[in-house]
Amino acid sequence: MTDDKRRQYSSPVVDGIGKSASRAMLRAVGFTDEDFRKPQVGIASTWSNLTPCNMHINRLAEESAAGADEAGGKSLIFNTITVSDGIANGTEGMKYSLVSREVIADSIETAAGCEGFDGLVAIGGCDKNMPGCMMGLARLNRPSVFVYGGTIMPGKNHTDIISVFEAVGAHARGDLDLIEVKQIEETAIPGPGSCGGMYTANTMASAIEAMGMSLPGSSAQNAVSETKVEDCRAAGAAVLNLLEKGIRPSDIMTRKAFENAITVVIALGGSTNAVLHLLAMASTVGVELDLADFTEIGKRVPVLADLRPSGHYMMSELVAIGGIQPLMKMLLDRGLLHGDCLTVTGGTLAENLADVEPYPEGQDIIHAFEDPIKADSHLRILYGNLAPTGAVAKITGKEGTHFTGRARVFHSEEEAQARILDGTVVAGDVLVIRYEGPKGGPGMREMLSPTSAIMGKGLGSDVALITDGRFSGGSHGFVVGHITPEAADGGPIALVEDGDTVTIDAVANRIELDVSEAEMERRRQAWQAPVPRVTRGVLAKYARTVSSASKGAVTDLP
């Protein structure tokens, strides 16, 4: 065994006469005698040609590997899966999306744990693979850096993937013909990178940087750019510095770091999925975090960014004026961030931000504190007789803060989508989409197709949608997801009937069903648990092990 503390995990795998067979295997993949004396750095790549979000990550992985090698390590690249929400939305395939987060975390833990990597770089480029990477790194707790694959450029006429989804609804309304929809389809996605607004990918990248697990600037770079290449190379080298200093994810992913992440997500107007993923990441690393923390932090943090889906600008436009670093400096100077948090640079957040320049004069993407988009958080944690253990809404105020309407109940996303497009859903309806939770779906699908259809049909201000499923970061409108307990567990959402009055109050943070407790009890006694939709395979395993969305929908709770 070596006395090199940087080789705590690789040394038992490759040192000594007893490990000759291990060395023989590694020689075949390019190791030399000198390499066996170096710390091994695993590069977890989410490359695939399944989606534009990840199609370029093979090159980024190679750059991170080169950075680790140049800094004195020995890199090994390995892959994990990714799936595409943008492709699968509105289909049965979307049930695998949140499941993939757990598969990715499991696979990174499995590969690194087996092979004895001393440190890791994980590169993610889409909604679920980023928190999946972070959960894998947290479980292993070895010196690690996360790298974001970067954002896509805008499509023609300032379009993106959400433009395509909403074009479908606009066609159903009669505002676009088939040729116009096809023109948007053909030009909205111009190349590599994650979806272009402050949707879930850019939200999670920003949260991870704010937490200190990415190098400064990593979350706000275009996917195809020299700055992203430099970021990847620097990340590989940074792992060697972390190994030298003995800094691990648990030293960085502290309670204060999660508070910083939540603060930045709110200021950016980020996705509701951040609630689910930050709860899961905190659970994995052993930090106490719950839904109430989002409410408390949200009372003092305004929404400052005019970014899609509720705003106007795209991430690439924020990149052009300096990314999120000047925003973080604004928040730090205002006393809204913990500057003493350790980061993957080896320095503190305050040290990293010390020389950051402010945004240029005249820009209107990031508002001043005196002129916020919203004075407090857009992420509303709602409770009430419909959600006794919590629900999550994204209310910017543009859609209003109160909604009362009549329930129109659906037992699947597809059923609701069909009734939106054929005109059955009308102003004043509260769409209730149930049995789409983590266990009931299984998989907690995003309701992007229904919300986009509602917006495209011109009903965004007149219809609300509530679900035990969740929403894409691209969803907007009066929407409430993550309702817990979910319908499959007999939660109150399972007891709603057509015509019931539902009230959503995003000021008082309440979601109520106007039905007496006696009537609710009668319905509860008559309710029967649904037969599981799947009994074998990964979805069945997920349904049997997944926790409530209010706990992050993780599968490894003790």
Query: Which residues are known to be catalytic?
Result: 472
Closest Cα to residue 540, out of 99, 88, 93, 91? 99
Distance between CA atoms of 268 and 397, rounded to whole angstroms?
A: 15
| DSSP β-bridge partners for residue 357 | none
179, 324 Cβ separation under 8 angstroms = no
Annotated binding-site positions for Mg(2+): 85, 127-128, 446
Distance between CA atoms of 503 and 522, rounded to whole angstroms?
A: 21
What's the DSSP call for residue 126? S
234, 225 Cβ separation under 8 angstroms = no
Q: Report the chain's C-alpha Rg in angstroms.
A: 23
Sequence-distant (6+) residues with CB within 8 A of 71 are 236, 237, 239, 240, 241
What's the DSSP call for residue 38? S
Annotated binding-site positions: 53, 85, 127-128, 446
To the nearest 10°, report the CA torsion of 471, 96, 281, 324. Answer: -50
Annotated binding-site positions for [2Fe-2S] cluster: 53
Structure tokens at 197: 């607004």
Distance between CA atoms of 140 and 285, rounded to whole angstroms?
A: 9
Structure tokens at 219: 């979350």
At residue 464, what are phi and psi to the nearest 5 degrees? Answer: -110, 160
Task: Indicate the residue type of 112.
Answer: A
